[in-house]
Homo-oligomer: A and B are copies of this chain.
Amino acid sequence: MILTVTLNAALDLTYRVPVLTPHAAHRVARVTERPGGKGLNVARVLAALGHETVATGFVGGATGEAVRRLLEESAGPLTDALVHVSGSTRRTVTVVEPAGESPDPAATTLRLATEPTRFDEPGPHITPEEWAAFGERYARLLRDARVVALCGSLPPGVPVGAYAHLVRQARAHHVPVLLDTAGEPLRRGIAARPDAVKPNTAELAALTGSTDPLRAAQDARRRGAHVVAASLGPDGMLAVTPEGTWLAAPPRPLYGNPTGAGDSAVAALLAGWLEGRPWPDRLADAVALSAATVRAPAAGEFDAKTYDDLRDRIRVSPL
């Protein structure tokens, strides 16, 4: 099975409003409620693709119960192995304006208006006992895992070196491990030599100081990651691997709600890993699934038709 870790799970709320006006009252016409946190998005996409997936991490409170109930309703073979904690799972609120959903299809750069407005609660405080309980659960799950993804931010109370620790544990179990996080947890985690990291360009720049994605990805590899797969937003994905360096790009940039696009890319990379496919194929799938997610209403979901249409139309060029 594929194991995903979501230490800071969330109840994701998406609010649709005509226009967001600061200091005004907005009647929300439509509310979408989904399980959230990068790792749960990855798990839902994998399960929907038919892969046996186990989701672990932390969950608590009424919001945590809502997350579990929504996970149960998810499509595919998804097992809930979340660890219950005393605090409450955080909410995230994403405010989407229709103007951002249907920009000029002829536009060739990502319009700022397509970015939704997000509010992220900090998450529950994890006690040392809860962190230890997770450690035991993780070690047990690693025995059956064929690949593991460590995704997203750390809730308060979890040590900043947590991902470095979890990467080393996965490697000790000979389970390939992909890390998708940012900031100091990424900096520490990458030094523990994960099999892959999947930063976006902003995360790469913050890590390496370089705004050139190729240079930054090469630098990130030197810091310890065997593979760096960098998502370039609507322009696709760049991967620096021991077998070569590639750029995978969609036939044209696709617009929509970018939330969860990176998580779908992670799901595709994990599935490709499991199947032992060559990197160019994994990247093409990652870009197609990413674009299909931009076309879906929420993170953790994808538009099956867009995915099928795009899979064979991604240009993968060696660099």
User: Considering only CB atoms, which chain B residue lies closest to A64 in the complex?
Assistant: B62
Closest chain-B Cβ to A96's Cβ sits at a distance in Å of 10
Pick the contact of A23: B93, B116, B119 (CB < 8 A).
B116
- Which residues between 193 and 250 of chain A lie within 8 Å of chain B, taking CB atoms? none
Closest chain-B Cβ to A220's Cβ sits at a distance in Å of 22
A77 interface contact, C-beta 8 A: no
Pick the contact of A115: B15, B23, B66, B91 (CB < 8 A).
B23
Closest chain-B Cβ to A292's Cβ sits at a distance in Å of 23
Stretch at the interface among A25-33, A166-174, A265-273: A25-33
Total copies of this chain within the assembly: 2
Q: In the complex where A93-B93, A116-B23 touch, is A122 in contact with B29 (Cβ < 8 A)? A: yes
**A28 & B120 in contact (Cβ 8 Å cutoff):** yes
**B23 & A22 in contact (Cβ 8 Å cutoff):** no
Given the complex, which residues of B lie within 8 Å of A29, measured CB to CB?
A: 122
A27 to B15, alpha carbons, bound, how many Å? 17
**B62 & A119 in contact (Cβ 8 Å cutoff):** no
A93 to B31, alpha carbons, bound, how many Å? 12
Given the complex, which residues of B lie within 8 Å of A116, measured CB to CB?
A: 23
Pick the contact of A22: B15, B20, B62, B63 (CB < 8 A).
B20
Closest chain-B Cβ to A23's Cβ sits at a distance in Å of 4
Pick the contact of A118: B25, B31, B119 (CB < 8 A).
B25
Closest chain-B Cβ to A136's Cβ sits at a distance in Å of 29
- Which residues between 92 and 150 of chain A lie within 8 Å of chain B, taking CB atoms? 93, 95, 100, 112-113, 115-122
Kindly list 7 other residue pairs between chains A and B, CB separation below 8 angstroms, not including A26-B120, A93-B119: A23-B100, A23-B115, A24-B117, A25-B118, A26-B118, A28-B119, A62-B63
In the A-B complex, the 6 residue pairs with the closest CB atoms: A25-B118, A23-B115, A62-B62, A20-B22, A26-B119, A62-B66
Residue contacts A-B, CB under 8 angstroms, 16 given: A15-B119, A17-B119, A21-B117, A23-B116, A24-B117, A24-B118, A25-B118, A25-B120, A26-B117, A26-B120, A27-B120, A28-B121, A29-B122, A31-B121, A62-B63, A62-B66
